[in-house]
Structure 1
Amino acid sequence: MRIVKITMKAILINETDEQKQIINNLMVVFCTAIRYSFKRLLENIKISDLEKAVYKKYNLNIRQAKDAVESARQTILSQKELVKMNYENYCNKIKAIEKILNSKKKISDKKRNALISKLDKRQRKANYFKNFIDTNTIPSVTFGTKEIFIKRCKGLISKEEWNSCRNNRIYSRGDKTKSGNPNLRVIIKNGMSYLEISTLEKTSTNRAIKIQVPIYLPQKLSRKTGKVNGTNYRELFLNHLITGEAYQVELLKRDGKYYCHITFELPKTEVVYTGHNRVIGIDTNPDGFALTMIDNKGNYKWHTYLKQHELLYARTNRRENLCGELAKQVILIAKTYQCGIAIEDLKFKNDKDVHSKFARVKHQFIYSKLLTMLYSACVKEGIETLKVKPQFTSKIGLYKYCHQYGMGVHNGAAMVIARRSYKLKERVPKILKDKLVNDLYKFNKKNEWSKWNEINKNIKGKVGENPDLWLVNRKKILGLVS
């Protein structure tokens, strides 16, 4: 059994002017409460005391007050995590530059001066973030985004527009004991869906007066077949409502419209397609998926590459659609062969200085979106998903399998990923040890990854970083041809 949450994007429709005014006032009060809570938390006020203070000060009900405080607390936690991550990344960049400067390789004066200048910049940044860690503080936070704040300072937008950006959301956590969500509840009445909102006005018994606003739950129908294209979010959510389970709701105002983001758990599904007999290894790349299938003994079956060049330059919405299409293709293949899939447990960090061209590609490489969509689709369809460590998958596949099965480097990596899901070891071939290792006694004492690291260094010294050069010159380097 696996649990996955998804977010459905709905929208309020046919709101009256009175309802808009009520929602806008509630957003102003709620966002103000968040900013107040944020400042008080930085002053180390106890959360329980702060919740009571917000409840009294802003006339919110106790649940709304708790949601406001929790939203502020999560903002502070995320900022602290970002500070730690940025500090670690800049420390790694500093070590990389120092390694180049201290190496025995000859470096021109121009390049050395450039590296020294870059090292100084990286050191200043690292010291900047280290100061926050030492003092247990966070950088200044601008509610309403820094970009909009700068525009307001320059007089490019009005005060009303600035306030609109700062006061544009209501957030409510779910509660199973309250049939889903107590303050922003989706209800079905006479075949129509409504969002029931707890307002600031109270009855004589001190209970919040509620308004019901029509809400459109998304459902994309095909013009040709009349069937739902992709995931039927409406049906999933309506089934979730029947169970009475909790769901989270966030109401956002953008361009005069009210968008409703509803987060809920997918129904629990049994794993039907497993990697018991065979598995498909998947290597994730900026332009698609490399797939290689093996059996449960690690033997090669076939390989293919699902390429989509548009991922490199398409706009955000278009790229999300392409990611979904790629995931759909993988699901179809896995169900056809009735097998599980194996993917890398990727964790990319911005801890390396790279050239501008690669930086653009890396920035647009939405690997997280690709893998998240693929994993969610596997859960829905009952396909087993195995995550493995990504270290040396490309290099092992390149040096061991590519020439043997006529594969590209990415499909070679996919084969290693698939084999690693079965916990199979990747021994260094005898011919590589004989031709590239000087001291076999010391080499045999090393662990698997250390062995491949040494092989990789020796091959890079002969052909460089380009994998194609190894595939072309492999026989010559190993002395198989004269």
Structure 2
Amino acid sequence: MLTIQAKLGFDSKEDKQEVLDLMRRWSSCMRFAYNRLLESKGRNELKRELQGIFNLNSRYVDDAIIKAKSVLESCKERCENPSRVIFGSRSLFEKLKKRHINGNAYKKLKKEWQERRKGNLYSRGDKSKKGNLNTRIKIDENGAVLRINVSERKYAYARIQAGCKKGKSREELLEAISTCGEAYSVELKLKNGKVYAYFTIEENFPEVTVTKENGVIGIDVNAYPDHIAWSETDENGNLVSYSKILMPELASGSSDKREYYRWQHAHEVVRLAEEKEKAIAIERLDIRDKGKRGDFSGRKSRRIRHSFSYRSLLEKIKVLAKRKGIQVIEVNPAYTSMIGMLKYVPQYMISKDVAAAYVIARRGLRIKERIPDNYMKLLENLDVDSLEDLKDYVSKAIKNRRLKKKQLKEIDYAIKVLQSLGSEPGEALIPLDGTSISAYSESYKLWRVLKVAVVTPLSPGKVLRDISVLKGVLHSGQVGRPG
């Protein structure tokens, strides 16, 4: 979807007042429809009722019902109580309830909340009507004008002010939208007494011509430090080249500034894929269950959702790649960093982020990661008693140095995995049902056990900084134990 934002300027106060009144009635209609949907009323029944109550035509009423349904569905997806929805922003409503805010600050806050609550209008496009019947873009000698249906056979007109920085390009886009005959949707919002319009039209992307047949570029986006790590592979999954794209601008600044630089860095990634004629592999994102308790309470989850806009950057890469006909492959991000650190950092002496991008690229080619032979030998000789000894050592280190307890949880998990595979205390790991241990080599469980067996003895209780020591472990299959 392509969205263009513009401010509306009215030649007469009467036109603006009529549009504001229309937005107020439509917003009330949408809230009323939402409450009736909670009572399980049907769409057809609602349409007849709402048209008479709010004096809106059937198209406006239908759009209000659609918006109300989308709010209801979104609320259910987030597992929230639909009856507790507050239109106009819950955060503003909670601030208004605080008694210490008064005077001009209270008036300003109340005005903002009322604008968000009452200053909305949404009008869907219709291809059979060559664009949009209720809110139609018109082009005259002075530029683009929005014709708004305020009542039966009565229209208000507003000049579309595209802005001074990119006005020409926006006006050209608006002219193209108005003459192409395709359906476009228009959404009006009231902000600080001014009306803003958002024009949305569905893009027709070209046919995909750059596919993974030539290889893949894997992308690993890191919230801290702010950078994109990328790795290029050939069609067989062999590493060809790699590097990083630094993004210090995303660490601070206004939202508009960060949005601008996200587009710039997304263009860099797509240009890279276009030059090398290779598909792009990115992580399939789902951060709904992130955080310590699955409620977004963790620092990493908050950073991803608010400061870094992790999802926004990858969505921009997807859109730009589609415009260039470049295939975008979304892969499961589970354990990419862990596999990259244990397997490819020692082999190629690259950073953990680049190694994770390499794993993502290989997953884009549907290549499964197997545990190297020397690591498998180490796992075959691993028993529960050795992990219990390691657990005692880490416990003492945590007590003496006040380290975090994350390593203890990983060791407990590794012990449970070994026991589930048939290992008893004091015995070597024996696969169940006579199955070769190599059958489990593609299981994420064994990668986690391997991390405990290899990384924890080298760096108990903290992050392993010198990854080069893993090279000797990978080639010898042996690791030292803490004394």
TM range (shorter): 0.7 to 0.9
Structure 1 counterpart SS, 2:70? helix
Structure 2 counterpart SS, 1:12? strand
* Deviation sequence 1:353-400 (CA, Å, 0-9, x none): 299754653442311111011111111122211111112211111111
Which letter maps to 2:57?
A: N
Which letter maps to 1:185?
A: R
1:372 aligns with 2:323: no
1:215 aligns with 2:160: yes
- 1:343–1:417 contact (8 Å) kept in structure 2: yes
Distance 2:29 2:242 in 1: 56
Question: What is the percent sequence identity of the aligned residues?
Answer: 31
Structure 2 counterpart SS, 1:199? strand
By how many angstroms is 1:181 displaced? Answer: 1.0
By how many angstroms is 1:217 displaced? Answer: 3.5
1:180 aligns with 2:127: no
1:19 aligns with 2:15: yes
Compared with structure 1, are the counterparts of its residues 349 and 78 closer, same or farther at alpha carbon in structure 2 (3 Å cutoff)? Answer: closer
Match of 2:181 among 222, 244, 263: 244
* Deviation sequence 1:186-235 (CA, Å, 0-9, x none): 121236211110003x3xxxxx311221112468459xxxxx8xxx5544
Please name the residue that 2:88 is paired with. Answer: 144
* Deviation sequence 1:99-124 (CA, Å, 0-9, x none): xxxxxxxxxxxxxxxxxxxxxxxxxx
Distance 2:197 2:176 in 1: 18
Structure 2 counterpart SS, 1:51? helix
Please name the residue that 1:72 is paired with. Answer: 68
Distance 1:151 1:399 in 2: 49
By how many angstroms is 1:66 displaced? Answer: 0.9
Match of 2:119 among 141, 151, 168: 168
Please name the residue that 1:349 is paired with. Answer: 288
1:444 aligns with 2:395: no
Please name the residue that 1:271 is paired with. Answer: 208
By how many angstroms is 1:245 displaced? Answer: 1.1
1:475 aligns with 2:417: no
* Deviation sequence 1:386-422 (CA, Å, 0-9, x none): 1111122111111111122221111101111111111
Match of 2:272 among 329, 333, 336: 333
- 1:280–1:340 contact (8 Å) kept in structure 2: yes
1:453 aligns with 2:448: yes
* Deviation sequence 1:317-351 (CA, Å, 0-9, x none): 22111211111111221122122211111212344
Please name the residue that 1:121 is paired with. Answer: none
Distance 2:319 2:464 in 1: 33
* Deviation sequence 1:421-447 (CA, Å, 0-9, x none): 111121211111122333475522325
CA RMSD of aligned residues (A): 2.7
Match of 2:303 among 357, 361, 376: 361
- 2:291–2:301 contact (8 Å) kept in structure 1: no
1:392 aligns with 2:388: no
Structure 1 counterpart SS, 2:78? helix
- 2:228–2:245 contact (8 Å) kept in structure 1: yes
Which letter maps to 2:303?
A: V
1:316 aligns with 2:255: yes
Please name the residue that 1:305 is paired with. Answer: 244
By how many angstroms is 1:241 displaced? Answer: 3.1
Structure 1 counterpart SS, 2:107? coil
By how many angstroms is 1:468 displaced? Answer: 2.5
Structure 2 counterpart SS, 1:13? strand
Compared with structure 1, are the counterparts of its residues 53 and 41 closer, same or farther at alpha carbon in structure 2 (3 Å cutoff)? Answer: same
By how many angstroms is 1:306 displaced? Answer: 0.4
Structure 2 counterpart SS, 1:297? coil
TM-score, normalized by length of structure 1? 0.79
1:258 aligns with 2:195: yes
Distance 2:376 2:122 in 1: 60
Distance 1:440 1:240 in 2: 67
* Deviation sequence 1:16-47 (CA, Å, 0-9, x none): 21111111111111111112112222222222
Please name the residue that 2:144 is paired with. Answer: 193
Which letter maps to 1:422?
A: L
Structure 2 counterpart SS, 1:276? helix
With CA pairs under 8 Å and 6+ residues apart, which has the higher RCO, 1 or 2? 1
Gaps of 5+ in 1: 84-128, 133-137, 203-207, 223-227
Gaps of 5+ in 2: 382-428
1:466 aligns with 2:408: no
TM-score, normalized by length of structure 2? 0.78
By how many angstroms is 1:165 displaced? Answer: 3.6
Structure 2 counterpart SS, 1:448? coil
By how many angstroms is 1:148 displaced? Answer: 3.2
- 1:397–1:415 contact (8 Å) kept in structure 2: yes
Moved more, 296-305 or 441-450: 441-450
Distance 1:316 1:28 in 2: 28
Which letter maps to 2:242?
A: H
Distance 2:141 2:175 in 1: 14
How many residues get paired? Answer: 412
Please name the residue that 2:420 is paired with. Answer: none
* Deviation sequence 1:145-180 (CA, Å, 0-9, x none): 233334544452277665434211111111111111
Distance 2:113 2:341 in 1: 54
Distance 1:9 1:390 in 2: 34
Distance 1:387 1:53 in 2: 45
Distance 2:204 2:23 in 1: 32
Compared with structure 1, are the counterparts of its residues 472 and 460 closer, same or farther at alpha carbon in structure 2 (3 Å cutoff)? Answer: closer
